[in-house]
Amino acid sequence: MFRRLSALAPLIAAPALLMAMPALAAADPGAASLAVPVAAPTQEAVVGLTPAEVRAWLMEKGATVEEPQTIEGQTLLRVNDGSANWLIFFYGCDAAGRCQDIQFAANIVADGLSLDRINAWNREQRFVKAYLQSNVDGTPSAVLQFDVLLLAGLGVDQLNDPTVVWLELLARFIEGLIAPTTETTAPAPVTLPTN
């Protein structure tokens, strides 16, 4: 996996150096000034968000959001932002209902969906990924997904940037389906000259 393990040497050595610091300080009192004081923990930062917090935040931003639902053990929100319907799934939830990560998701049914178009999207887009599936009636649909890890102590406002990314890429995907396809055959492979 790693070609050069020597690049990891500082990461491997760091814990050993940290464990040796107290012994070094006792042996050389001047070395004690190198020790970094550790602040006593004050209050634990809250990790994650609840579905109710996310719902209230989305509604404050102008979205229509149904009450949180749990279907087959999976908690989700159904959202309409005025132009599209989508979902937010909650993962890593504790007993109090505070979840450590979320996933934006949408199911897009449209003419012109193909594996080639989905693959082209995935090659060209970094954050929102898509896959093709068949609905119960056999029609193809694209499922778009965007995972977001929630950070401790930041509250619901940490969703600002990820939500903007989600909405922009969701709109771009839908617009790409409406626009005429520009699919062409793959370019010929590049052949490098040999000496």
Residues in CB range of 80: below 8 A, 6 or more apart: 63, 64, 65
Please say if the pLDDT value at position 32 is more than 50.
no
0.85 exceeded by pTM: no
Count how many residues are written for the chain: 195
Please say if the pLDDT value at position 44 is more than 80.
no
Instruction: Please state which CATH class domain 51-178 belongs to.
Output: alpha beta
Alpha carbon distance 185, 15 (integer Å)? 53
Please say if the pLDDT value at position 14 is more than 70.
no
Q: 129-144, pLDDT tens digit by residue?
A: 999 998 888 888 999 9
What ranges in the chain are assigned the alpha helix state H? 9-27, 51-60, 115-124, 160-178
Domain positions in the chain are: 51-178
Q: How do the residues of the chain divide into helix, strand and coil, expressed in percent and rounded to 5?
A: 35, 25, 40
Name the amino acid, one letter, at 114: S
Residue 26 banded pLDDT, cuts 50, 70, 90: low
Alpha carbon distance 158, 46 (integer Å)? 13
